Amino acid sequence: MEWYAKWIKPQTETGDICPLFQKSFFLKKPVKAAALYITALGTYEAELNKTRIGDFILAPGWTSYQKRLQYQAYDVTNLVKENNQLSVTVGKGWYRSPMPGWSRSSVQEELKKSPAGLLAQLEITYEDGSTEYMATDETWTFTDSPVRFSEIYDGEIFDASLAYGCAPGCSSTQGHGSGRPVCEFEGPSHTLIPQQGEEIREQERLSPIGIFTTPKGETVVDFGQDITGYVEISLTAKAGEKVALSHAEVLDKEGCFYTENYRSAKAQYLYICRDGQQSYKPKLTFFGFRYVRIDQYPGGPCAAKPENFTAVVIHSAMRRTGYFNCSNPLLNQLFDNVIWGQKGNFVDVPTDCPQRDERLGWTGDAQVFIRTACMNYDAEKFYTKWLSDMAADQGEDGRVGHVIPDLLSEEPASSAWGDAAAICPWELYLAYGNKELLSSQFTLMKKWISYISSHTTTPYLWTGGTHYGDWLGLDAPVGSYKGSTREDFIASAFYAYSTWLVMEAGKVLGEDITEYETLYTEIVSAFRTAFPEYKTQTECILAARFGLAKDCQAAADQLAAMVKECGIRLQTGFVGTPYILHTLSEYGYSHLAYSLLLKEDYPSWLYPVTKGATTIWEHWDGIMPDGNFWSADMNSFNHYAYGSVADWIYSVAGGIQRLAAFPGYEKVSIAPIPDKRLDWLSVSLDTRHGKITSSWKKAGDVWRYEITTPVDAVVMIAGKEREVGKGTHLFYSKIETI
């Protein structure tokens, strides 16, 4: 891509008002094709002749801006006319918004100082073969847009009386007014890259399930689902009347609007009306919410009707690939919550939550969920872009940050979080079989191992340092967010696991892995010497799951005993929870794994479902049995990490398992494990090689299995293994034998 455009910015400061850049031009010859190449320091929305360009919401997306800034290309052939006006509104977006929850981030503080910059180039190809460019330079102008305020965390203010199309029926919401001069500046041209990730787009539209008045007299709209996106309003009003909305995920114990868990994120928007019938939805920001409080409305909040509001769901444009259904409605709702949790947090970056003053790409959450994510959706392109940012942000010493983009770069790396550098590329390779992607991330993986090796106080273990431990473990000491599992134990276990993954990746790529084989042998030996006993559920899980125990079966037996001793309850956090069901079922405790999955009282996956959850919670008891909240400090109700349980549902309950020797489901193992507490269960995965389905159901005194595979498969039913080819196959086994 050859750029003729120059970075431009307003010649005078606009404060909170989003600038609207404009260029008018006249075309004298017939046009064959027209393409717009564009990016900005912030989020932008572009119009050509009062028609929005493209479907990308929050363009140019979120990358490690100091190293990588995406630009987009749009075919606008059908939009050009003889007389034309190109208009672009630029908001702060992720680039320049403050991070209220992490104000100590020097990276974001530096980005905030950037101007509202625009780089755009319209390439016109005429039918006679000639080419002309309309590129940003000092001939452009700007004016104050109707977007009077827009930030990622606090929301947006829009004044419709300042927009084009004050007459009813006009779709444009750009501003107007006399143009003021812009100036060129040295923007980040050296960091430009073409669009790499999936575009964020509007995906679904939800109507309210009702409007009600709370005990405090608040008028609240309930959309019935915790989502990520914004509300579109449609009403008839007079100029100057206002619609003000606040967003929330849950109601409090008394049924009143609750926003304390948003912390300092205001999450509001204000719309100032023009005369007549009108519709509006935020342009340059987004919210996480189920409920909307109507703070102002023409005629008063009580005058609002359900038909005045529509919730617009946004997320990265991934294709759904995984499905599940069974005879248990609560389990079906849990799976639905997993899907919604992924949609709500896959907005260009795999964020922890979409609502509060955080919304960061936490690496720990990403690595525990990536296997599930790649079953639910085709997430290869999504993760490829994010891992490229991880590689760009990796320190010279191999450090990988807690979040990517790494806005918290001053903080030391943590085990299980930084280990995303090894886990995520490998999981992506297994899911899609893309050897080139694995090769592109191999340096990232190796450098992470080097970081651990050079930042430990004990050779062949990872001791010392600052870690998140088994974050939010239920066995945490009073006053701590960390579980009771020893941090050196977790760090050393993941040191071994990540080294093993580098070995496996090296084998695939034909690399010399002798160094890592030797290192791995030393780590396992040192681990077994340093940690001969296991004190928590998570310690048993890691020792068995990562193959570090001298006797993995004994470690799994101890785990099963611990689960039973505390009343069939898990006590794990972010580190242990994703592996607990796998560890139990792998070592002969599938019935106990099902007991944990199907448990309805606290703590369990189904407990939030019984409390009305429509997404996965950050805490098992975000809403406690007595109706009170766990806390206001850190209590997201859309936190996808524990949704990793869906991986076990697909691969153990449904039995569809990837084989490392056949990545991308080129050949599969299908070994479903039914449970008598369910009458039937069905899973399906749409893979690179076709759709795989696996189902089982009770049929009298036998289980009836139906398996459809587009590839050769190894099927294991009731301990009997057989090779099958493509097609649909039926099997039976006595219920008593399972």
> Catalytic residue positions?
358, 618
- 3-state DSSP assignment of residue 183: strand
Q: Please, how many CA atoms are within 13 Å of residue 519, restricted to the half-sphere of its CB?
A: 22
What type of residue is 537?
Q
Helix %, strand %, coil % for the chain, to 5?
A: 30, 30, 40
Bridge-based pairing of strands 69-75 and 192-194 is: parallel
Instruction: Tell the residue number behind the tokens 């970075």, with chain if given.
Output: 7
Instruction: Tell the residue number behind the tokens 């079953």, with chain if given.
Output: 375
CB 11 within 8 A of CB 183: yes
Q: What one-character-per-residue DSSP string does 309-350 give?
A: EEEEEEEE-PEE-EEEEES-HHHHHHHHHHHHHHHHHEESEE
Bridge-based pairing of strands 319-320 and 242-248 is: unpaired
Instruction: Tell the residue number behind the tokens 């947090």, with chain if given.
Output: 345
CB 9 within 8 A of CB 182: yes
Residue 88: phi, psi to the nearest 5? -135, 120
Report the C-alpha gap between 50 and 81 in whole angstroms: 12
Tokens of 197: 């990730």
Counting every residue written for the chain, the total comes to: 738
Count of CB atoms within 10 A of residue 611's CB?
17
Helix (H) or strand (E) holding 181: strand 180-184
- 3-state DSSP assignment of residue 112: helix
**DSSP, res 644:** G
Tokens of 604: 């369990």
CB 498 within 8 A of CB 419: yes
CB 59 within 8 A of CB 284: no
Tokens of 382: 């999504």
Report the C-alpha gap between 681 and 127 in whole angstroms: 59
- Give strand ranges (E) for 672-737: 680-687, 690-699, 702-709, 713-717, 720-724, 727-734
Instruction: Tell the residue number behind the tokens 């297994």, with chain if given.
Output: 430
CB 119 within 8 A of CB 7: yes
**DSSP, res 412:** P
CA distances 261 to 248, 358, 421, Å, are: 9, 11, 30
- 3-state DSSP assignment of residue 645: helix
The torsion region of residue 15 among left (phi > 0), alpha (psi -120 to 50) and beta comes to left
Report the C-alpha gap between 254 and 213 in whole angstroms: 12
Count of CB atoms within 10 A of residue 226's CB?
26
Report the C-alpha gap between 185 and 474 in whole angstroms: 53
Residue 123: phi, psi to the nearest 5? -105, 115
CA distances 228 to 257, 260, 342, 379, Å, are: 18, 18, 10, 18
Per-residue HEC secondary structure of 672-684 comes to CCCCCCCCEEEEE
Report the C-alpha gap between 406 and 391 in whole angstroms: 11
